[in-house]
Amino acid sequence: MDEYLERIKAGSLKLYALEQELPPAEAVALRRRYIEDETGVSLAKVGSFSISVDRAARKNCENMVGTVQVPVGVAGPLLVRGEYASGSFYLPLATTEGALVASVNRGCSAITRAGGAEVRILRDGMTRAPVFSTRSVAHAREVADWVAVHHGEIARAADETTSHGKFLGAACTVVGTSVFVRMEFDTKDAMGMNMATIASEKAAGVISAATGARLVALSGNLCSDKKPAAVNLVRGRGRGVAAGVFLPDGLVSSVLKTDTPSLVEVNTRKNLVGSAAAGSLGFNAQAANIIAALFIACGQDPAHVAEGSLAVTTAEPAGGGVYVAVTLPDLPLGTVGGGTGIETQAECLSLLGVAGGGDPPGTHARKFAEIVAAGVLAGELSLLGALAAQHLARAHKALGR
């Protein structure tokens, strides 16, 4: 190994190229040793892990030196009554925030005792929006008109790139001489960003050739990927899903330690009025908290939490209780590809019964989306209850040290 270290120091061997000459496990260990020598910092704990390096170093992480371990707790059982997820589930939550798992666990108890959360998928489609340059606003209009009437040609080009995904449609937005073509794809059980990108590139070539518009960038930010954007709140992106539950007054009192009018008022003044006053695009209490914990545990891209945070929570008085719901219009997730194949993350997906591809394709990702939505609902209920009962600070003093 000393020979390789000397070559790295001499500049004849690049740090990122170690896997080209050594097995992945040896390459990772050598790279870690080099960084330790250069910085004087021990990475012994980072270098202690249980996952297989072969996949992670080749498919998930360049210049790998080890792993960072995040504690995983479970909340549940959570009773879910969805079209794809039906039954009781234990949610794996990867977090370092004390009180989070306990909070979600309380919400799971309330939902389960109420008979379960009813959950429905509202839409399903991953987007990518190339931006084109045109000669004039008249030409821009011509390009948009061409896209609108040539769905078949665009679909054939896009669908040639994948045996799994399917082109669903495209919508154009014209800004001056810029034309944004927001394409949407059914990506089955994959989160599908790579699939959509490759398909969009082929489709963009067809649009350019037919209209004379010049492709400027394969992503024009109208997708909009990994950013909280109004277009995704309105049109949706990834899996769109809603979860709701009716809580009788007695259950609000016994589990959430508050009363129905107080719960409704907190949701109205905090989640709706407060979010509007702040100019927020998300109208919820802590949706990102639960999404982040589930995403990290289950091998999702954590940057997509920015999109998941666009959730809207509603609480409506109903005879003898309250109906609380969360709507997540933008939830990019998948059960194949990305980090889902890493062993620890695959175990967490297996805990939910959604590891790998579903039969038929797409059913596992939709089941996972329904479970995530029900988990978000549990987190919303518990936090709203804590706020209404004035228990938030007390809980964090006890569990959030």
Rg of the Cα atoms in the chain: 24
The reply to whether 297 falls in a domain is yes
Each residue's pLDDT tens digit, 324-383: 999 999 999 999 999 999 999 999 999 999 999 999 999 999 999 999 999 999 999 999
Same domain? For 291 and 367 the reply is yes
Distance separating alpha carbons of residues 202 and 197, to the nearest angstrom: 9
For residue 100, what is the domain's CATH number? 3.90.770.10
Distance separating alpha carbons of residues 259 and 256, to the nearest angstrom: 8
Same domain? For 101 and 33 the reply is no
Output the CA torsion 163→166→167→168 (10° steps): 180
One-letter amino acid for residue 220 of the chain? G
pLDDT of residue 345: 98
The reply to whether 229 falls in a domain is no
CA nearest neighbour of 323 among 79, 56, 115, 27: 115
Whether the predicted pLDDT of 35 surpasses 80: yes
Same domain? For 94 and 182 the reply is no
Same domain? For 293 and 374 the reply is yes
Each residue's pLDDT tens digit, 54-80: 989 999 999 999 999 999 999 999 999
The residue segments making up the domain with residue 145 are 130-217
Distance separating alpha carbons of residues 185 and 188, to the nearest angstrom: 9
Same domain? For 47 and 10 the reply is yes
CA 319 to chain centre: 35
Same domain? For 385 and 366 the reply is yes
Same domain? For 23 and 134 the reply is no
What sign for the dihedral angle of Cα 272, 277, 280, 285? Answer: negative
pLDDT of residue 329: 98
The reply to whether 230 falls in a domain is no
∠140-145-150 over CA atoms, to 5°? Answer: 125
Q: What are phi and psi of 275, to 5 degrees?
A: -65, -40
One-letter amino acid for residue 75 of the chain? A
Q: How many domains does the chain have?
A: 3
The reply to whether 66 falls in a domain is no
**Could you list the active site residues?**
97, 301, 396
Same domain? For 247 and 295 the reply is yes
The reply to whether 254 falls in a domain is yes
For residue 149, what is the domain's CATH number? 3.30.70.420
Q: Which two tokens stand for residue 1?
A: 């190994």
CA nearest neighbour of 292 among 180, 163, 379: 379
The reply to whether 67 falls in a domain is no
The reply to whether 313 falls in a domain is yes
Same domain? For 290 and 325 the reply is yes
Each residue's pLDDT tens digit, 282-339: 999 999 999 999 999 999 999 999 999 999 999 999 999 999 999 999 999 999 999 9
Domain's final residue, options 217, 249, 280 = 217
Q: What share of the chain is helix, strand, coil (3-state, %, to 5)?
A: 50, 25, 30
Q: Which two tokens stand for residue 372?
A: 């995530």
Domain's final residue, options 152, 186, 217 = 217
Same domain? For 252 and 351 the reply is yes
Same domain? For 42 and 118 the reply is no
Distance separating alpha carbons of residues 59 and 197, to the nearest angstrom: 18
The reply to whether 227 falls in a domain is no
pLDDT of residue 396: 52
Same domain? For 342 and 389 the reply is yes
Domain's final residue, options 39, 60, 81 = 60
